[in-house]
Amino acid sequence: MESVTLIINLAYVLAAALFILGLKLLSHPSTARKGNVISAIGMLVAVVVTLLDHDILSYHWILLGFAIGGAYGAWKAKSVEMTEMPQMVSLFNGFGGAASLLLGWSTISQQATAGFSALSGAVLTTVVLTILIGGVTFSGSVIAWGKLSGRMGAKAVIFTGLRELSIAHLLGFLVVGYLFVSEPANPAWLYATIALALSFGVLATISIGGADMPVVIALLNSYSGVAACAAGLAVSNTILIVTGLLVGASGLILTNIMCKAMNRSLMNVLLSGFAKPVEAAEKIEGEVKILPAQDAFYVLEAAQAVLVVPGYGMAVAQAQHAVRELQTLLEENGCTVEYAIHPVAGRMPGHMNVLLAEADVPYDQLYEMDEVNPRMENYDVVIVIGANDVVNPAAKEMKGSPIYGMPVIEAYRAKTVFVLKRSANAGFAGVDNPLFFKDNTRMVLGDAKDTINTIIREFGDD
């Protein structure tokens, strides 16, 4: 028996080591795929060993779940478009939270027949935390999915009474949590805990605007890890605790990076639901200067240094391969081409890096905004592809703007700026952009992929 326990513990150590190695490899694009595979192997080891460590009468439902989940996951991974990746990641976070909630619920349901004398107050407290954090993660992720997929409005929903309602939920957590631990046999407190968790997740996420969605995804990822850790404590599963801690810690670190990139504190984002309604920002007016793609070619043909600033619009147009082809033509023409990546560009962390890696853009040509801003005047042309908020000078020029103080890529300081968009409307955050009206800015309207392909054809005809 001791030898079996030793083997199981060694397998858990192996799984944890694979998780840590996988996370390390995920930190660089060249090794990310290998890191993903290693992490998946670690999870397989952890799941198999956990199943063997428990007395399970029948594996039929477990194997059926493996088959259905594996088949659906493989199909979804192959078929998902890059524009749908942020909302899919958000749903993954939600599924993790839902799994933790159900595990806590299952733990209480099992004890309902055997009696609650075997559960200490500490265990019941971890069960409450598992259900609360899991429920908040699930409902919050569903709302984030709705905002990212366009099924809901992207703007923050802040109404009179939201602050008081949010505070009431927090007080409710304390009261219901205490009653749950005191009277676990009463199912009313279990259902009240679940209801409070789900409703608070909705309130906390609807009050966060589109500009903060990358932060929300990273934060919900952290929540799913914390929920898993609490679930591991509730059922005394070591590898679940370790996995939850790794996910929770890495998600929190990523969230902190996102917040710094937006010059926001984590508490500022978290407490959006406690904010008072604010008046709409002053509307910016001016004349947009339209430039046909054919004329943009002549400017690019004479350029010696070009900077590309990708945004979500590039993902929508699937223009990354066309951008890579244009880069090759410009370099053959004696021009240097670089890419500026803002940490919150797109709608999830690393969105633009993934897109450009898919098009085989060399990683050493990708630069952070702190690297390109000091030499922005040296660029002959900055091509902004579907980005809006990450190049918005209102962050520096307009104190009344919702994004004032946010570090941005200062494209407006370049010699010429081409903005490739379908229209001159505001971006996902709903904030007007004065860059569109600058004297050195030209709007090249239309689908970004079609626009770039038109410029590529001009190079071929030249």
* pLDDT one-digit tens code per residue, 43-84: 999 888 888 877 666 778 888 888 998 898 888 878 877 777
d(CA 99, CA 109): 15
d(CA 343, CA 408): 10
Catalytic residue among 389, 447, 450, 462: 389
d(CA 157, CA 415): 39
Give every CB contact of residue 108 below 8 A, 6+ residues apart in sequence. 127, 184, 190
Tokens describing residue 212:
């903060």
d(CA 268, CA 402): 13
Domain boundaries of the chain, sorted by first residue: 1-79, 87-274, 293-461
Model confidence band, residue 41 (pLDDT cutoffs 50, 70, 90): very high
Average pLDDT of the residues of the chain: 84
**Domain 293-461, what fold?**
Rossmann fold (3.40.50)
55: annotated active-site residue: no
DSSP 99-127: HHHHHHHHHHHHHHHH-STTS-HHHHHHH
CA 359 to chain centroid = 21
Q: Are 169 and 203 in contact (CB under 8 A)?
A: yes
* pLDDT one-digit tens code per residue, 107-122: 888 776 656 666 677 8
Model confidence band, residue 337 (pLDDT cutoffs 50, 70, 90): very high
